[in-house]
Amino acid sequence: MMNFSPELRSQLLTPQLIWFSLGHYYQITYQEAINIKIDPWWIGVKVSMKHELLDMPEQCFSTVISYQKLAYAIANFFGLNASNCGIISRSGNLATVRGTQGNYHCTTGSAGYTCTCKLYRCMNNRLVKNGESPQLLKALKRTELYETHNGQPQIRCHHLLILK
Ligand SMILES: [Zn+2]
């Protein structure tokens, strides 16, 4: 079992994201994915569910998603969500971004990347600062969600993606 707090799980190990990672490979519908069991392991995230489409319903569908695959799925998912966001105002390093659940204040550039949304705060506090799931953070470093700025690690939520 990995060190994933309930808060980080609720943001990055959601049925929606798992479905986004592998639904098209296994022809899982989103409705089916809601019942998926998600266990973060050292080597990856184990997901399992009873696959109703199988001849033997008691047979469990089970696979392990690597952290790299999950990181790419997270980045793609944020990219999709970013397309539903809009920049309300931008001045220097400060911006206000409209998301689906409200407006958020962001900083960019020399001020570093920050956002007032819950997703950003959770990822920055737990993944970057507290070192929960170092495997996932390492994998996210290969995506556009991560960069270092003045030697400081920066993580991006979907609001910050559109300010890139
Ligand atoms: Zn945000």
Neighbours of ion ligand 1 (CB under 5 A): 104, 115, 117, 120, 157, 159
**Cα separation values, 114 from 22, 38, 72, 98, Å:** 30, 29, 21, 15
The residue extents of the domains of the chain are: 6-74, 86-161
Q: What is the pTM of this model?
A: 0.89
Q: CB within 8 A of 132, min separation 6: which ones? A: 3, 4, 5, 8, 126
Q: How far is the CA of 59 from the centre of ligand 1 (A)?
A: 40
pLDDT tens-place string over residues 12-53: 999 889 888 876 666 677 777 788 889 999 999 998 876 565
pLDDT less than 50: residues of the chain: none
What is the pairing mode between strands 86-91 and 60-65?
unpaired
- Cα separation, 96 vs 44, in Å, equals 35
Q: CB within 8 A of 91, min separation 6: which ones? A: none
Q: How far is the CA of 60 from the centre of ligand 1 (A)?
A: 36
